[in-house]
Structure 1
Amino acid sequence: MSNSLTVGVVQQPAWPDKARSLAASEAGIRAAVSQGAQLVLLQELHATHYFCQYEDPALFDLAEPLDGPTGQRLAELAKELNIVLVGSLFEKRAAGLYHNTAVVYDRAKGRVGQYRKMHIPDDPAFYEKFYFTPGDADDERGQGFTPIDTSVGRLGVLVCWDQWYPEAARLMALSGAELLLYPTAIGWDPNDDDAEKARQKDAWTIIQRSHGVANGLPVLVANRVGFEPDHSGVGGGIAFWGGSFVCGPQGEMLAHAGEETQQLVVNIDMARSENTRRIWPYLRDRRIDAYGDLTRRYRD
C-alpha cells in the first residue's frame, strides 16, 4: 500500500425521500473525488432519514438486500469514479431479519465486504433494537470484528454505537486493520441545554480519537447534519451535530467539519502508524494473560 492516501468524508442531511438522500450522497462523493479522494466514507443510514426515533413496522419497507437498488447505485459510483466507497444500508437479509450494515465497494470489483453493526442501542429516540439484529460474532464470510481488504488498505469498519466500545476498535486493530472508519448518526435532544450538548459532543469526539491513539491508527468519522423531526409526534426530534473528522494515529486532528453539509478531503501519511507504534508499542505490552475477565458482563 502506498504511504500516502487521500480520504474523503461526506457529511450531509438526509430525508424520508430515498432518491433525494441518495442524490445528496452522490453529490458529496463526486465533490470529494474532484479533490482527489481515493477512499470515501458516507455516514450511517445516509439513504434515508434516521427512522429509529420511533417504532413503526411499516418502516421495514425501507430495507433492501445488499445488492438492491441502493447497493447497485453505490457500486456503480465506485466503478465510475475508480474509488473505494464505504456506504450504509438498512439491510434486509431475510424476512424478519434486518441489519444496519456498512458496505465496502472497491472500484470495478464491486462489493468486497460488509460489516453488520454489532452494538445496537435502545434509548429514547434511538430505538434501534426494534429494527436491527446485531451482526454475527464470527463466521467464515468475514462478519464480526473483521477488517475488509481493499485496494487502498485493510479497513476496520464499525458503525455508530460501536464507537463507544474500545474492544471493537482493538479487535479490528488486532486483525490488521490499517484505518478505523465510523459511519454514524448522532445528535442532540433539542431540550438539552448548551452545557450538556457540549459535553456530549466532546465525549463523542474524544472516544473516537482515543481509539486512534490506543491502536496507532488513523480514524475517519462521518456524521449527519440537520434537524430531523420525530414523525410519530411523540419525541422532539434530533438535531444532528455533524462534527465529522479525520485524525491521525496519535489522535491529532487532520480535518474537522462543522454543523453544515460538508466534504472533508485530507491526505493521510500511512507510514505514521508504523512509526507511532515503534515509539508507543501498546500491542507489545498488552497483558493478554490477565484479560480473561473482559468476556464477563461484570466482575461482582
Structure 2
Amino acid sequence: MTSDVFMDAKGGLFTVACIQMQPSFGNVTLNVERSLHLIDKAVEKGANLVVLPELCNTGYMFACREEAFAIAEEIPAGPTVAAWIARAARHRLHLVAGICERAGASLYNSAVVIGPDGFVGTFRKMHLWNEEALYFEPGDLGFPVFQTPIGRIGVAICYDGWFPETFRLCALQGADIVCVPTNWVPIPGQAEGRQAMANILAMGAAHSNSMFIACADRVGIERGQAFEGQSLIVSYTGWPVAGPASRDSEEIVLAEVNLSEARRKRNWNAFNQVLRDRRTDVYDEMLGSSAKSGWY
C-alpha cells in the first residue's frame, strides 16, 4: 500500500474487509499466522481497514479461567499485537482484532485498534455472554471512539451489539464506523437457515445511528459449540453492502465505502435527522455516560 490509500481515505473512500476465519483452540501461534495470511489476502483485494473476529488468536470455548489466563497476553506488549502491528506497518493498514487480554490479575475479552504507525487503543467487551462471566471482567474503558486518518472508529464485541446504547454512544462521539469482532452463536428460537439475529440488529443500529457497521465473525465447531459465520458490512442506510458470508467457510467480505456519507446524509428529509431529533429534554443526552458528545 502507498500513501495514495490515505489520499483516498481523506475523501471518505476506502475499502473495509471483514475476515471470517476458524481459529484452532489454544494454538496462538497457528492462529496468528493464519490471521496474517488472511490480512495479506485482504490487502491484495484493496483493503485499508481489516476486522478480525473475537478472540481470534486463542479460540473461544475456555474450560476455566486458568486456561484463559495461561494464553492471555498483555496489550500492546504481547507477541500477538506485535505481529499485527508489524503487518499493519508493512501494508499501511488499519486493523481491529479480538484478543484475550491479561492486565495484571485481570482478564478481558478485548479488541485492539492498530494503525500504520502502531498501536492506537484498546476496547474491552462491556457485556459478557454466558460463561464469559466466569473468566473475564466486564469492560472498564467505556465506548471509546478512535480518531484515525481514515475516519473515526468505534468498536463493539459480539453481545455488545444487543444493546442499542453501544452504537448510540459511539455515534454521539462522532463514530463513522463501528467495527465488531464477534463469535456469534445460534440463539433460542432461530429457525434452520434463518439469518443471524445479530445481522438484523446490526442493520437496525446502522440505520438508526447513520453509521457503517463491520462485523467479522468466526466459523467452525469448537468443543461442541457451533458458530454462525455470516460476517457482513452494513451501510449507514441500514442495508448490507457486503455479505452476509456463509455459515461454515473462511471468507473475506469486502466493501468500498465512503465514510463521509455517514455524516453528510444523516438528514433524512427537510425535518428529520435521527441524532438531532432525540428528546434530550426527556432523557440524558449521553445516556448517563461520561463520554463526551462529538460531531453529529
Tell me which interval the TM-score lies in, with the shorter structure as reference length.
0.7 to 0.9
Matched, 1:86 2:96: yes
Matched, 1:100 2:109: yes
Match of 2:42 in 1: 32
Match of 2:6 in 1: none
Residue pairs, 1:143-292, within 5 angstroms: 143-188=141-186, 196-198=191-193, 201-229=195-223, 237-256=224-243, 257-259=245-247, 260-279=249-268, 280-291=272-283
Which ranges of structure 1 fall in alignment gaps of 5 or more residues?
A: 137-142, 230-236, 296-300
Q: CA deviation at 1:180?
A: 1.1
Moved over 6 A (4+): none
Contact 2:267 / 2:274 at 8 angstroms: preserved in 1?
no
Q: Give the TM-score, by structure 1 length.
A: 0.85
Amino acid at match of 2:154: G
For residues 69 and 144 of structure 1, what CA distance do their matches in structure 2 show? 25
The superposition leaves residues 109-161 of structure 1 with CA deviations (integer Å, 9 ceiling, x where unpaired) of 21011111111122xxxx1011111122xxxxxx3112011121110111111
For residues 58 and 160 of structure 1, what CA distance do their matches in structure 2 show? 21
For residues 85 and 182 of structure 1, what CA distance do their matches in structure 2 show? 12
Q: CA deviation at 1:265?
A: 1.7
The superposition leaves residues 32-73 of structure 1 with CA deviations (integer Å, 9 ceiling, x where unpaired) of 100110010101001112124x33523310111002011111
SS in 2 for 1:283: coil
Q: CA deviation at 1:238?
A: 1.4
Q: CA deviation at 1:226?
A: 0.8
SS in 1 for 2:267: helix
Q: CA deviation at 1:197?
A: 4.6
Q: CA deviation at 1:198?
A: 4.5
For residues 144 and 33 of structure 1, what CA distance do their matches in structure 2 show? 31
Match of 1:233 in 2: none
Matched, 1:60 2:62: no
Matched, 1:135 2:144: no
In the alignment of these two chains, the number of paired residues is 271
Contact 2:151 / 2:259 at 8 angstroms: preserved in 1?
no
Q: CA deviation at 1:175?
A: 0.5
Q: CA deviation at 1:208?
A: 0.9
Which ranges of structure 2 fall in alignment gaps of 5 or more residues?
A: 1-9, 289-296
Change (3 A) 1:253 1:58: closer
The superposition leaves residues 236-279 of structure 1 with CA deviations (integer Å, 9 ceiling, x where unpaired) of x1111210000101111111011210011210022321343122
Change (3 A) 1:91 1:202: closer
SS in 1 for 2:266: helix
Match of 1:76 in 2: 86
SS in 1 for 2:138: coil
Q: Which structure's residues are more often helix, by fraction?
A: 1
Match of 2:125 in 1: 117
RMSD (CA atoms): 1.9
Q: CA deviation at 1:188?
A: 3.2
Matched, 1:14 2:23: yes
SS in 2 for 1:185: coil
SS in 2 for 1:265: strand
Contact 2:96 / 2:113 at 8 angstroms: preserved in 1?
yes
Contact 1:84 / 1:151 at 8 angstroms: preserved in 2?
no
For residues 197 and 180 of structure 1, what CA distance do their matches in structure 2 show? 29
Taking every aligned residue pair, what percent have the same amino acid on both sides? Answer: 33
Amino acid at match of 1:152: I
SS in 2 for 1:79: helix
Amino acid at match of 1:258: S
